[in-house]
């Protein structure tokens, strides 16, 4: 079967197509899935570019959407023909977090979904949302579930809350759609006025170009009448955290889900204490969280925003597009 693999030394130019052995028939508790689509995340870019360690010949991509071709003995949750989508942490089935690394994450610690077929435990997948194609389904595995957990599972979002989102990448656009569907008011930042216009079309209540407003935390606070927002989905890390703390209300919630500006830096601890805010780091979510997210998507009718789609052979070009920062929402890969 056809698979895309990571070379050594790593880099986008080192991605290559290989013929790999067909995974065969599923054993007890397993399913065979024909994979038809994926979506890109910064984590995937880190693996293929060399920012994050992985072994030579690793098959990348954490997200995978496809169709069940066969089920092993003892599998009753899925049947042949079912549309399914992968889980980021296959071993984390439910409950509080139990995993703090990527040793079991597809496309990192184990082979990912840039391949035609996989045989995995049935518990490594959930049902895909009804009506979603493979690429759309794959967008929920990492980005969608991260936004869902940040706002709903951990943030306990409710109608009337205010939310601040940074940028217009996959997590932020998913968070915008989730928040609006649940009756929240949303502010979003970007360096692109064109992207801010698109965010307004999706329901954003307040938009801000941070290139023209350096003190954007204060501007967001002013938008709330001086109170501050209830929730911040913080994707930047050390370079943006101070402004996010400025923007959050006393007793509010900041979900640290990304480190786009660096993996370490100064934290304004006095300001955080003064806000009495909860700063929570999180990485995606459990299988049970994903199942609840799928149910919510079917109930609300939300569809993901997929900016562009590439073929598997164009995976390097897809990552270059991600690298450019030109995308709005998710970047899809299909085959």
Range of the domain at 304: 2-142+285-334
- 151 vs 45, 101, 122, CA distance in Å? 25, 22, 28
73 within domain boundaries: yes
Q: Tell me: do 253 and 304 sit in the same domain.
A: no
Regarding whether 104 and 8 lie in a shared domain, the answer is yes
The tens digit of pLDDT for each residue in 72-103 reads 999 999 999 999 999 999 999 999 999 999 99
**pLDDT for 98:** 94
Do residue 32 and residue 102 come from a single domain? yes
Q: Are residues 188 and 261 in the same domain?
A: yes
Q: What is the pTM of this model?
A: 0.96
pLDDT tens per residue across span 124-134: 999 999 999 99
Which pLDDT does position 258 carry in this prediction? 82
Domain identity same for 163 and 100:
no
Asked if residue 274 and residue 294 are part of one domain, the reply reads no
The reply to whether 251 falls in a domain is: yes
Judge whether 149 lies within some domain: no
Residues 90, 138, single domain; the answer is yes
Burial 90-104 (b: 16+ CB within 10 A, else e): bebeeeeeebeebeb
CATH classification of the domain holding 22: 3.90.180.10
The β-bridge relationship of strands 30-39 and 117-121 is antiparallel
Cα 115 to Cα 150, 173, 260, distances in angstroms: 30, 27, 28
Verify that 130 and 249 share a domain, yes or no.
no
- In a shared domain, residues 164 and 239: yes
pLDDT at 61 over 80: yes
Mark whether 86 and 197 lie in a shared domain.
no
Q: In the Cβ-directed half-sphere of 91, how many Cα atoms lie within 13 Å?
A: 12
147 domain residue, yes or no: no
* pLDDT value of residue 289: 98
Same domain, 9 and 135: yes
User: Nearest-CA neighbor of 170 among 286, 304, 308?
Assistant: 304
Band of the pLDDT at 238, cuts 50, 70, 90?
confident
């Amino acid at each position: 079967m056809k698979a895309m693999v990571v070379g050594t030394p790593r880099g986008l130019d080192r991605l290559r197509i290989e013929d790999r052995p067909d995974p065969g028939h599923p054993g007890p508790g397993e399913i065979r899935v024909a994979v038809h689509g994926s979506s890109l995340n910064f984590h995937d870019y880190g693996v293929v570019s060399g920012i994050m360690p992985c072994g030579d010949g690793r098959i990348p991509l954490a997200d995978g959407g496809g169709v069940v071709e066969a089920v092993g003995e003892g599998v009753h949750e899925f049947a042949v023909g079912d549309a399914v989508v992968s889980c980021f942490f296959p071993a984390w089935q439910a409950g509080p977090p139990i995993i703090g690394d990527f040793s079991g994450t597809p496309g990192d610690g184990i082979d990912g979904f840039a391949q035609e077929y996989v045989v995995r435990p049935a518990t490594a997948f959930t049902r895909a949302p009804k009506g979603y194609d493979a690429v759309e389904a794959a967008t929920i595995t990492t980005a969608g579930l991260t936004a869902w957990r940040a706002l709903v599972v951990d943030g306990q979002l409710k109608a009337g809350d205010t939310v601040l989102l940074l940028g217009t990448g996959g997590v932020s656009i998913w968070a915008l759609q989730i928040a609006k569907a649940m009756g929240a008011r949303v502010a979003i930042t970007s360096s692109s006025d064109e992207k801010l216009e698109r965010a307004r079309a999706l329901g954003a209540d307040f938009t801000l170009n941070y290139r023209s407003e350096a003190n954007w935390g204060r501007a967001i606070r002013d938008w709330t009448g001086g109170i501050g927002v209830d929730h911040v989905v913080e994707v930047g890390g050390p370079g943006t955290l101070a402004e996010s703390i400025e923007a959050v209300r006393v007793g509010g919630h900041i979900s640290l889900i990304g480190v786009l500006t660096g993996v370490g830096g100064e934290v304004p601890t006095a300001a955080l204490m003064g806000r009495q805010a909860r700063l929570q780091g999180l990485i995606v979510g459990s299988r049970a969280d994903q199942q609840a997210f799928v149910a919510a998507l079917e109930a609300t009718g939300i569809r993901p925003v997929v900016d562009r789609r590439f073929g598997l052979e164009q995976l390097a070009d897809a990552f270059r597009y991600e690298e450019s920062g030109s995308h709005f929402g998710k970047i899809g890969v299909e085959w």
